[in-house]
Amino acid sequence: MRLITYILTIFAATLLLAFGQFSLPVTITGHLKKNPKNTSTYIQGIVVFAKGDNKILAKTLTDDKGNFTITFTPKNEKSFDFYCTGLGIDTLLLSSVTTFESDTPEMTFYVPGQHQRNSFSKTICPKCKRTDKVYKIEYEDAPVMTRQISKSGDTTYSPIYKGTYQESCIVGLARFYCNRDKVKF
């Protein structure tokens, strides 16, 4: 009787665990580097974090050379977005990745990021890969906000004015803003 109970328990556990999706953790060896066009950025002690489906999966700090290691276990996320933030740095989108080539990839990110442009010389958002809602960021002491009132009377305010995104900080690393994804890069 004990043998039958033991076998049934193992069979039930195997059956239940067979339907669960298991994935191996991904350990990324990363390097945060200064952009050759703007070398004034500090790369030491910067928080780097990975998000999937708007949830933070893992975060870490860079060492004195900008190196870091970050580990997380992917589930069913559509993409993995890498951000950085720190002293004097907004929360910047570094890169968006849909798949990894291995369980231990090595990745290099530049701060501020190197932007891709399409054939019409418009900047491409690294997350949505589109250009239609990407705005150049203008840093000013007193940014302009636009007010929009809908037909139902709802009032919204937008920092987008005359084709640029208005930001209040005098110095900032982000050069572009995607209004679709609400990210600075």
Residue-level pLDDT at 13: 60
- Give CA 155 to chain center in angstroms: 29
Cis-peptide into 105, omega within 30 deg: no
Decide: helix, strand or coil at residue 30. Answer: strand
> CATH topology for 1-114?
Immunoglobulin-like (2.60.40)
- Listed as ranges, residues in the chain with pLDDT below 70 are 1, 3, 6-9, 11-22, 170-171
112-126 confidence digits (pLDDT tens): 888 899 989 999 999
The residues with which 34 forms a beta bridge, in sequence order, are: 111
CB 135 within 8 A of CB 179: yes
**pTM for the full predicted model:** 0.77
Domain with CATH 2.60.40.3330 in the chain: 1-114
